[in-house]
Amino acid sequence: SLLIVQSLVIVLYLFTLAVLAVYGLHRSALLWGYLRTRRLRATPARRFRDDELPVITVQLPMFNERFVAERLIDAAAKLDYPADRLEIQVLDDSTDDTVMIAGAICEKLRRRGVDITYLHRSERVGYKAGALEEGLRRSKGELVLVFDADFVPMPSAARDLVHFFTDPEIGMVQARWGHLNRDDSLLTRCQAMLLDGHFVIEHAARHRSGRFFNFNGTAGMWRKTAIADAGGWQHDTVTEDMDLSYRAQLAGWRFEYVPEVCVPAELPGDMNSFKSQQHRWAKGSVQTARKLLGRIIAAPIPWPIKREAFFHLTNNIAYLFVLLLALLQLPNMLIRRHMEDPRLLMLDVPLFWATCGSVAAFYLVAQRDAGGSYADALKRLPVMMGLGIGLAVNNGRAAIEGLFGRDVEFVRTPKRGASDGRASSLLAGYRGQWPWHNALELTLALYCTATLLVAIATRSWASVPFIALFSGGFLYVGLGSLLEALRAPKPAQSADDASAQAPSTHSSPRPQSMLS
């Protein structure tokens, strides 16, 4: 009976590692697809003449963004586009003094002749998707350009993207994200690496191979008829952008990715805000999988597109296997010492390299092609990999909620408005809140550290680097969350907090990144 239990542990360990290896091999396939096409450049079929330029509506959705509202609205007003063909909509669902700040800026710009409309909803029905849909009904443009509150579009952004719509089959054009505060801290540098992997490699590989890829909720331009044809903005997931993207491509619209156009944005400056953002992206991608994957599989589209959609939409479920792997390492290591079967290494080694080797190669290339260097990427790679592992509790919980839960409340990521490392000290209520599951992260950190000590004591040297990533990752994320919570000021309840505790005004039935 003991032998059966031991065998089951080893089989479960190898199965878990095999699942992660499959996702790792998929990442390697994306990297290979990117490398084969890395010299390609996005060019429109033709360019509009100045008298042909279509009317564009710029939508700026925001919710309690007092630190960044003015920066965003001013940047939108400076877009280099004919004034008679550019409309700006500030879609503000705020419950704090952002209402006064944004309203005053819009009034000032109107007096200067800018075509800008301020729309404030007292109830956040549909959250961001609801605000975008409400703005769409009132918009003048045939094209819609969206920027979230943490972005600072450059003046050329509208002109850089609009010419791709000379092709009547194009429904959406996505720009690459840049990073205003990449060098603020180790955390922001690691986040930048993660996002660069998504935008430099994943988007490019999917687009250039004819697979589906997604609008990222911001820094992208839509054809309004494509949104309507796909069924409009819907708010039964917390990643309304990914949901609409797949519905639009299933309806036959083509998307264009333009990595040469880079729009900078602010990265979350603290661990709990970062985890809140990651939780929403992970949960939303799984909700989108639950909603659309069956429809995608049944659609009359090529199997390579279906296969890629499966990996894209289910990628965050892999975090559950990361958690299982963390728990199984200690018993697996101890059992193997007694079994002394060298043949098991013939399975371990290729699975390990398919998992970790693919991650390393993927992000090294992404960092280099995003303008960095291999040397800098190598220095940060272990921390970035540890950060990805440390997110397993946060994102694994999000995956479970996406699979089985019915909560679709949109929780915004706090923005500080600081791009130079000197964030405002008045951020109480604009930080990510301390998550209860931080206790699980700290428990796993202790467990993996104990596993690491056992590995050293038993001279299981082959396991030490792998286990060290788990121990360091959970310590980094767990302690980071805890220390931020202990340092945070204890303010009186803010309007933002009050709105979070108020009964939801969401009208739909309560039924995605790291990025994939």
Instruction: Report which DSSP code applies to 357.
Output: I
Q: How many CA atoms lie within 13 A of 244 on its CB side?
A: 29
Q: What is the rounded CA–CA span in Å between residue 67 and residue 416? A: 6
Active site residue 167: no
* Catalytic option among 93, 115, 160, 270: 93
The DSSP H or E segment spanning 247 is: helix 240-250
Q: What is the rounded CA–CA span in Å between residue 32 and residue 55? A: 39
* Catalytic option among 96, 241, 243, 496: 241
| DSSP result, 63-132 | SS-TTTHHHHHHHHHT--S-GGGEEEEEEE--SSTHHHHHHHHHHHHHHTT--EEEEE-SS-TTHHHHHH
**What would you measure as the largest C-alpha separation in the chain, in angstroms?**
82
Active site residue 160: no
Q: Give the strands of the sheet with 143-146, arranged side by side.
A: 116-120, 86-92, 56-62, 143-146, 220-223, 170-179, 254-265
Q: What is the rounded CA–CA span in Å between residue 450 and residue 446? A: 6
Burial of 406 (0-12, 13-18, 19+ CB in 10 A): exposed
| DSSP result, 295-310 | HHHHSSS-HHHHHHHH
- Residues labelled catalytic: 93, 241
